Structure 1
Amino acid sequence: MFNSQAFFKQRLSAHMKELSRYLRYMLNGHLMIALFFFISAVAVYYQQWLARLPEDFPTSLIIGVLLGLLVSYSPVRTLLKEPDLVFLIAAENKMHAYFRNALIYSFVIQLYVVLLLVAALGPLYFASFPERSGNMYLLMIAIVLIFKVGNLMANWWMLKIREPGIRQIDLTVRTLLNMTVFYFITQGDMLLAGITTVLFAGLFLYDFYVSRKQPGVVWDLLVEKDQLRMQSFYRIANMFADVPHLKNRIKKRHWLVSIVSRIPFAQSYTFDYLYRITFVRSGDYLGMYIRLFIIGGLFIYFIPNVWVQVLFVLLFLYLSCFQMMTLYQHHRTTMWLDIYPVGKDIRQQALIKLLFQLTLFQTVLFSLLFLIMQEYTGFIIALISGTVFTYLFMNGYVKRKLT
């Protein structure tokens, strides 16, 4: 007799073992130190910024948008795999306990994001509305959890709809309603919040009605969604350890390839060409490089202390270089690279050269931010310290890791 509840426990146990295996590499000492420094600096300047918060600051709008996005993003983790398309379809009428447990698991693993965001928005809420008691904010947290459950169930029901356009429209409307509800709650206008909640409840019941009219579970869609989420996790884990399950995404980007591939046609430049093309065309490295620069630039721009700004420059240079080091293992499963008549030292030098160029270019960009802010002393300090850090990091840590 097939027991779907026992099957879910087995699948969940295997899933947690796989996650813990990669999390051991991801939560290493380097990353924890960087995160500790990052969170500490943000907390200090967040409190300082709240102390001089302007009276007309749009707190309600910001909290409404963030909480609305938080509850709207409620994916369902089914833990299904491709073989299930063959072996479990016949047992679909016995999978109710499995999917019920999957919904509970999906809600529980998303609670940490809820707790982090409401904890971060709490000081802003009380700084903007000092006359309100803590019970009002606790009530808002309870409403967030209720809406989180509602959106999770609505997302699950909409996964029975094969047409992506219908699912996207439903998600967009629900997101706008969620934002509006929490905007009115933050404003203290409970009447309008109640009316918007009724509209959300109507859409919620409509999703339930539409899902009941569907013939059954769309198995291929569930497997596809779960695989996409696992691939996202693997791409992050691949920055810290080898992930054999990762499916690399390739993008053409012809104009960028034509720029970076202008190197001499010689045997000694074989890996220079390969690493440059990989950096540009892979779906991970270029996007990560740009995102780290944008996030670092925002912190540098909004933090008032020049010395802390320089520290953030060095922090994000370190993070960028550390993430790009995985280029060395990117082609580890491509066996034909072993027949290249190129020595290992040339391969290592090619990567070090590319990392040095990328990090130095990022140093220049961060330094130019100081010029835009008319912080001329900061520009000189950032440029010199970033260049020195790049040289020492490449010739110390990177070389030692590659050998």
Structure 2
Amino acid sequence: MFDARDFFRKRFSAHLKETSRYLKYIFNGHMAVAMLFLVSALAFYYQRWLAQLPENFPSALIIGILFAAVASYSPVRTMLQEADLVFILPAEDKMGRYFQSTLIYSFVIQLYLVLLVAAALGPLYFATFPQREGSVYLLMLLVLLIFKVWNLLANWWMLQIRDKNVRVAEQIVRFLLNFAVFYFASKGTMLFAGMATVLFIGLFLWGWWNAKQQTGLNWNLLVEKDTHRMQTFYRIANMFTDVPHLKNRVKKRQALVRLVSGKIPMQQKSTFDYLYRITFIRSGDYFGMYVRLIIIGGLVMYYVPNFWMKVIFAILFLYMSIFQMMTLYQHHRTIVWLDIYPVETKIRQQALMKWLLQLALLQLVIFTVLLLLLKAFLAGAVVFVGGAVFVFVFIFGYVKHKISAV
């Protein structure tokens, strides 16, 4: 006889074992240290910025948007797998206890987002509204937790709706109502906040009624959502260690492929020069991550006033980019026919280091130009020289040693 509680315990235990297996690599890796330094430095400058906060700064708008984002982002982790479409589907009428447990689990694991946003926006709130007592902000956090529960239930009901357009429209309207509640609550206009809450409850009840009209669960969507979230987790973990479960996504990006590979000669020794370039552009999140790190690094250097902090952050983001792009070497590890290429391993390693060097130097030039445009000429010169030295030492020292040991 099928026992939903026992099934949840087994699936939950397997899920924890799988995630903890990779989390230990993420939080023990070089990237975790770099991110800790980044967060600490940003927190320091955040406090300095709050001391000079402009009077007309739209704090209520920012609080409303971020609180609404945290409340609206309430995915349900069902931990379902593709095989369940065959083996568990017949027991759908006995899965009530299982899904209740997954809802509780989903709420608990998302509490860290509430704590992070509450801790980050607390100083901004009190700097903007110094006359208000701390209990008012705590009340807002309590309301946020309540709305988090409501949004989680609303998301669960919407997962039973087959029409994607209805689900998207409901999510947009729900986010706007969440925003209205927290925006008006931050400004102290409780009448409008209460009206927005009433509208949200109306949408909440509509979602419940709509879900009741469905004849059964949308199993394909449930499995698709959970599979996508696990693949996202695997892509993050893949930055720190090899993840055999990762399914690579491929995008055409023909113009970029032609740009980076057009001048590569059709020679045997250039085989991996071509492969690593098109892999970087088309596969996984390499290109997107590279661009995001350049943008975030540029923004950090733009807002950080200290000379040496600009230099440190430039080198830090160079390090983060190179470290993450190193996984290109292992990207095709499951493709056996690469091993029969008549190309020496040394040439393959040199191709990767050459490509990493070009990417790092391009990023370095962008950072240097940004500093020159900001008229930080000395910082630009130090970043260019110091960054170039770091790039060469790191790639031909650390990276070469790591890929040679594979």
Report the TM-score, using the length of structure 2 for normalisation. 0.98
Residue aligning to 1:385: 386
Tell me how far apart the structure 2 counterparts of residues 55 and 35 of structure 1 sit (CA, whole Å).
31
Tell me how far apart the structure 1 counterparts of residues 204 and 137 of structure 2 sit (CA, whole Å).
25
Tell me how far apart the structure 2 counterparts of residues 299 and 144 of structure 1 sit (CA, whole Å).
29
Deviation at 1:87, TM superposition (A): 1.1
1:215-294 to 2 correspondences below 5 Å: 215-261=215-261, 262-294=263-295
1:349 aligns with 2:373: no
Tell me how far apart the structure 2 counterparts of residues 29 and 259 of structure 1 sit (CA, whole Å).
33
Deviation at 1:316, TM superposition (A): 0.5
Deviation at 1:36, TM superposition (A): 2.2
1:110 aligns with 2:107: no
Tell me how far apart the structure 2 counterparts of residues 303 and 242 of structure 1 sit (CA, whole Å).
35
Q: Which runs of 5+ in 2 are unaligned?
A: none
Tell me how far apart the structure 1 counterparts of residues 401 and 226 of structure 2 sit (CA, whole Å).
38
Tell me how far apart the structure 1 counterparts of residues 33 and 246 of structure 2 sit (CA, whole Å).
27
Amino acid at match of 1:331: H
1:317 aligns with 2:318: yes
Residue aligning to 1:147: 147
Q: Deviations over 1:167-196 (max 9, x none)?
A: 000000000000110000000111110011
Residue aligning to 1:332: 333
Tell me how far apart the structure 2 counterparts of residues 33 and 155 of structure 1 sit (CA, whole Å).
35
Secondary structure at 2:75's aligned position in 1?
coil
Tell me how far apart the structure 1 counterparts of residues 284 and 168 of structure 2 sit (CA, whole Å).
24
Residue aligning to 1:31: 31
1:134 aligns with 2:134: yes
Kindly indicate whether the alpha-carbon contact (under 8 Å) linking 2:29 and 2:240 is maintained by their aligned counterparts in 1: no
Residue aligning to 2:376: 375
Q: Deviations over 1:80-114 (max 9, x none)?
A: 00110011111111100000000001000100011
Secondary structure at 2:357's aligned position in 1?
helix
Q: Deviations over 1:332-354 (max 9, x none)?
A: 00000011011111000000000
Secondary structure at 2:369's aligned position in 1?
helix
Amino acid at match of 2:78: T
Deviation at 1:310, TM superposition (A): 0.9
Kindly indicate whether the alpha-carbon contact (under 8 Å) linking 2:76 and 2:155 is maintained by their aligned counterparts in 1: yes
Residue aligning to 1:202: 202
Tell me how far apart the structure 1 counterparts of residues 175 and 53 of structure 2 sit (CA, whole Å).
28
Tell me how far apart the structure 2 counterparts of residues 29 and 73 of structure 1 sit (CA, whole Å).
28
Tell me how far apart the structure 2 counterparts of residues 233 and 203 of structure 1 sit (CA, whole Å).
31
Deviation at 1:29, TM superposition (A): 4.2
Q: Deviations over 1:191-212 (max 9, x none)?
A: 1100110000000000000000
Deviation at 1:366, TM superposition (A): 0.8
Tell me how far apart the structure 1 counterparts of residues 307 and 219 of structure 2 sit (CA, whole Å).
54
Secondary structure at 1:27's aligned position in 2?
helix
Deviation at 1:306, TM superposition (A): 1.6
Q: Deviations over 1:236-255 (max 9, x none)?
A: 11111111111100111111
Q: Deviations over 1:219-265 (max 9, x none)?
A: 11100000000011111111111111111001111111111112111
- Please say which of residues 312-321 and 373-382 is displaced more in the overlay: 373-382
Q: Deviations over 1:260-292 (max 9, x none)?
A: 112111111111110001001113100010011
Residue aligning to 1:183: 183
Amino acid at match of 2:73: Y
Residue aligning to 2:166: 166
Tell me how far apart the structure 2 counterparts of residues 78 and 161 of structure 1 sit (CA, whole Å).
16
1:302 aligns with 2:307: no
1:33-52 to 2 correspondences below 5 Å: 33-52=33-52
Tell me how far apart the structure 2 counterparts of residues 145 and 167 of structure 1 sit (CA, whole Å).
23
Amino acid at match of 2:282: R
Report the TM-score, using the length of structure 1 for normalisation. 0.99
Secondary structure at 2:53's aligned position in 1?
coil
Q: Deviations over 1:100-143 (max 9, x none)?
A: 00000100010001101110000000000000000000000000
Q: Which runs of 5+ in 1 are unaligned?
A: none
Secondary structure at 2:62's aligned position in 1?
helix
Tell me how far apart the structure 1 counterparts of residues 337 and 89 of structure 2 sit (CA, whole Å).
40
Deviation at 1:31, TM superposition (A): 2.2
Tell me how far apart the structure 2 counterparts of residues 36 and 172 of structure 1 sit (CA, whole Å).
34
Residue aligning to 2:400: 399
Deviation at 1:395, TM superposition (A): 1.4
Secondary structure at 2:8's aligned position in 1?
helix
Tell me how far apart the structure 2 counterparts of residues 40 and 248 of structure 1 sit (CA, whole Å).
33
Tell me how far apart the structure 2 counterparts of residues 28 and 314 of structure 1 sit (CA, whole Å).
21
Sequence identity, in percent?
61
Tell me how far apart the structure 2 counterparts of residues 158 and 393 of structure 1 sit (CA, whole Å).
49
